[in-house]
Chains A and B, each alone.
Chain A
Amino acid sequence: MALSIFALIGHKNGAADDSAFELAAAAKAVDSGASLTAVVCGAGSELDSVCQAVSAVYPTVWKINHAGLAYPNAEALRPALAKVIPKGAIVLMAHDTLGMDLGPGLSIKLDAAFVPDVVGIEGLDGNVLKLVRQEFGGQVSTHIHCDIRDGAVINVRSGAFQPTGETASGSVVDKSGDVGDIQPKRKYLETVVAEVGDVDITKADVLVSVGRGIEDQENISIAQELADTIGAVVSCSRPIVDAKWLEKSRQVGTSGKTVKPKVYIALGISGSFQHLGGIKGNPFMVAINKNPKAPIFQVADVGVVTNLLEFVPELTERIKEKK
């Protein structure tokens, strides 16, 4: 019997998350011959546009429309999915705050194996699925062998897989009736939106960090614009805080916050020992600095030796053009 793979689709406001398309690529990496189904759960008509969108890459799309699933509450989703996912299937989902909430428990309910935060999939070897994970804040990688005889729940790191570009014209199947009654013991109340001043740089995946090379408070806007364009958060080194150009909560370093982004763009940061001490998790680091001897270039992955005040606005424009 061919393997069945189900991808749980994250979505907001009627649009599928980027991860939806990445999961399709991940599924192909698991077994390109497996039957692939996208599972779209939620409530209301906004599901239709999500189903529509994912049907472009998934041969089958399950739509589960249930008032109890209006908000993506893992406690409601888990029993619903446990009911509809067949034994032995592989479930893929993004390793985001929903995936972390849902995945481990779902694997227990399905009596399946669970592998979180997967960054690489090396394919099947009989009943063994070969995966790659990272440990110790990304400092070391590990090969994982996962026994999938009873199925598996695999949480995939966002951005680890690129959409393949393959298309499908999937059919949407309404499975709303199969989930039965949903009575979670956890009730969603509200979402408290972070205040602008309360930006938490420690949780950002992408940081545009400014140092003394920014020269003037007015130039912070150059960094802010780049950050807005690429969906990043602005952080800084200590001199910027000392100069009161940015609030203390944005400072990276031993006397500031410890950050664990995936991408760190250092603008005019020399890369002092104290500053680098606040960057963990081995992010992809881009350094833009006019001093070719700045120590930041020793630790960065990519460097640009240039005047950032001229280059960064140009870069931002270029990104906007390409978007």
Chain B
Amino acid sequence: METALISPAKAWVMGIPTVIFSVLIPLIGVAAFTYIIAKRLAPLVRAKPDPRLDRPIDRLKAMLLYAVGQYRQPRYMMAGVLHIVLFAGFMILSLRSITLVVLGIQEGFVLPGLGGVVGHIYNVLKDIAATLVLIACIIAAVRRGIFQPERYDVPKRYGKNHTGEAVFVLMLISTLVTCDMLFEGTYVAAQLKKGISPEFVLPATGTWFAANFFNDSSFAVLQRVHLGAYYLHDLVFFFFLCFLPMGKHFHVITSLPNVFLMKLRKGVIKPVEWGVDESKLDELKSFGVKKFEDFTWKHMLDFYSCADCGRCSDQCPANAVKRPLSPRFISIKSRDYCFKNYPIRGEMTPKDEMLIGTIFTEDEIWSCTTCGACEAECPIFIEYIDKIVDLRRGMVDEGMVPQSLQKPLKAIEKRGNPWGKMEKKRSEWVKALPETCEVKLFEQGDVAETLYFVDSITSYDDRMQKIAQATAKVLSSAGIEFGILGKDEKDSGNEVRRFGEEMLFQDLKSHNTEMIRESGVTRIVTSDPHAFNALKNEYAGLPPVEHISQTIVKAVSSGRLRLKPIEDVQKVYTYHDPCYLGRHNGVYEDPRKALDAIPGLRRVDMLKSRDRSFCCGGGGLMLFYEPEEEQRMGVLRVKMAQKAGANVIVTACPFCLVNMEDAIKVAGLEGKMEAIDLAELIERHIDRGEAEEQGTGTPEV
């Protein structure tokens, strides 16, 4: 076949056959890349175990949806769409790039399967892709380099700005696609010159512009540009490949496996050490993450995979109130530390030093409310809560616990509640109930099918006891016979575990599990999402657990619970999703359905709701922690509710209620805004059929 230009596989430059370069560049490139990857794997080999190969079908599905399908990207529309274009372009062009590399060795090479019609279609497709990628690169570079969205800022304490690296990589990508355009364009121009009918080139693509640009050029120029573009592409391609593992663009390689290896079980904290049974924890020499190698290999892979997109920190409530925590920099700082100790060239210098005090501060790690907003946002499922908890476990093991947290922890150890109140007072809230509402006490040998697990704050706090009383009345009105554990109930330990005191959590868990089993109940209901999460996800061998909002919806739909029209039609309600009900357990609809079951209730959603709900400030032990912050999360949240046009915030969690009520006062919105628990609101609207009992027979209108 006559060719319009000499291919790089056959060309000679200054007496040297260029095919030598075509062979050497990929050889050196692949060798260098293999070496770099081996170096990058070194810390992972020293890391803690982390089994991630269970449920392969689910993993594959997740990878297809989130990694290949880029499902979470459009949550940030502009950046997301740009990324999808770049990613899709990359996928298409990767085939072309491989073809190009081989073309330098074997003229006229075609990837198997890309011959014939498919090849013609692919050729058009890759021209479109290359053009779109180039446009996307330019927009992205302008956006990052000139407009500089706030999300990408690097505060001084976290190191230097990453804009340079981002723009540099965009330039590399642009060079790659441009080289292909020139390589192809010059060839098409030469063919036209020679009167050979070329491959179809879609007008307005880069290749088309290149072909047109060169249509007057001499063969010599065309040949030079053709070869020049080829080898520039070859060099940049392999340089880029080796450059990826040097920084945030490692995600190009690691994202797919990272998503495939994602954490599949929500609402549960990883064990202290995978493969070590809970009964064997005493035998462990050390707890949690102290030095870098205490992280699991998957957590290290997370560090490699972070693309520095800043979405986690953009959603992080701790970051929003200027606590000294930004999840993004948990990853970035760890990666920088890892690269420093495991350099590509030179000795590996793993250090036996605490990360706390080196790259993290104590306050930073205590600042997290474990709300999960970061994890719900990360496009490639980087985990933060498990890492934070592992770091806390390390601090607890070293005794590095702030005084403000030591007291409640010790009180839980001694008395089963963070205030150190007496066990026998745990059921005192029952006393305020009317006789018609019967609460069985398992500690006295009573029997019932359903257990109401109250948990500490709802049992002891004067205000939150009203939630317990409302819950009891709702259950009783729905005809559910239920009991409580009373003094035999201890704190569920949801936060105890999340604050790193694993052994205390294990004690609480086995105590409560034993008590619940002894009670012989077949169902557990709770009004506290933290207890709900712990019992449902962290405990084992218990009867099914439901949140009161789920119980309400079932009772309403079965007709066992009837609700009266809304008391105050002027009020506009908004539902605040508690983190441990929503994000960690996916219960978004039931509380809304329960609210909507009140006839005439006007409800609006806040901009940040469901899996983007904004944490109230944290529950459990977080109530005792004294964070450094510029304002309270609750205040921001109350303002969001106000912006949504609501004047009543309905929560379904006692901690949310504490924080919201406080925040309303702090924000100076008393009288304008109120907070109420879902159970309280439902209880107020129970239609107990008083009208019928009075025998008037005239139903209310």
Contact = CB atoms under 8 A, between A and B. Distances in A.
Interface in A205-242: 212, 238-239, 242
Nearest to A243: B666
A254 interface: yes
Contact of B461 (A239, A242, A273): A273
A255 B626 contact: yes
A255 B462 contact: no
Contacts of A254: 419, 623-624
B94 interface: no
B632 A242 contact: yes
B361 interface: no
Contact of A277 (B419, B463, B626, B632): B419
B463 A242 contact: no
A255 B624 contact: yes
Interface residues of B, number: 15
Interface in B587-625: 623-625
A274 B460 CA distance: 12
B218 interface: no
Interface string A278-296: 0000000000000000010
Contacts of B266: none
A256 B665 CA distance: 18
A244 to B, nearest CB: 9
Contact of B666 (A239, A248, A256, A277): A239
A164 to B, nearest CB: 43
A242 B626 contact: no
A238 B623 CA distance: 12
A248 B462 contact: no
Given A255-B623, A255-B624, A273 B462 contact: yes
B666 A255 contact: no
Interface string A244-274: 0000100000111000000000000000011
A248 B419 contact: no
Nearest to B419: A277
A212 B665 contact: yes
A72 to B, nearest CB: 32
Contacts of B632: 242
Contacts of B624: 254-255
Nearest to A295: B462
B631 interface: yes
Given A212-B665, A248-B626, A242 B419 contact: no
B621 to A, nearest CB: 11
B404 interface: yes
Contacts of B625: 255
Nearest to B625: A255
Nearest to A274: B623
A242 B419 CA distance: 23
Interface string B619-643: 0000111100001100100000000
Nearest to B627: A255
B3 to A, nearest CB: 76
Contacts of B419: 254, 277
Contacts of A242: 631-632, 635, 666
A242 B632 CA distance: 8
Contacts of A212: 665
A242 B462 CA distance: 23
Interface of B: 404, 419, 461-463, 623-626, 631-632, 635, 662, 665-666
Given A243-B666, A273-B461, A274-B623, 16 more contacts: A212-B665, A238-B662, A239-B662, A239-B665, A239-B666, A248-B626, A254-B623, A254-B624, A255-B404, A255-B623, A255-B624, A255-B626, A256-B626, A273-B462, A277-B419, A295-B462
A-B CB proximity, top 5 nearest: A242-B666, A239-B666, A255-B626, A273-B462, A273-B461
6 contacts: A238-B662, A239-B662, A239-B665, A242-B631, A255-B624, A255-B625
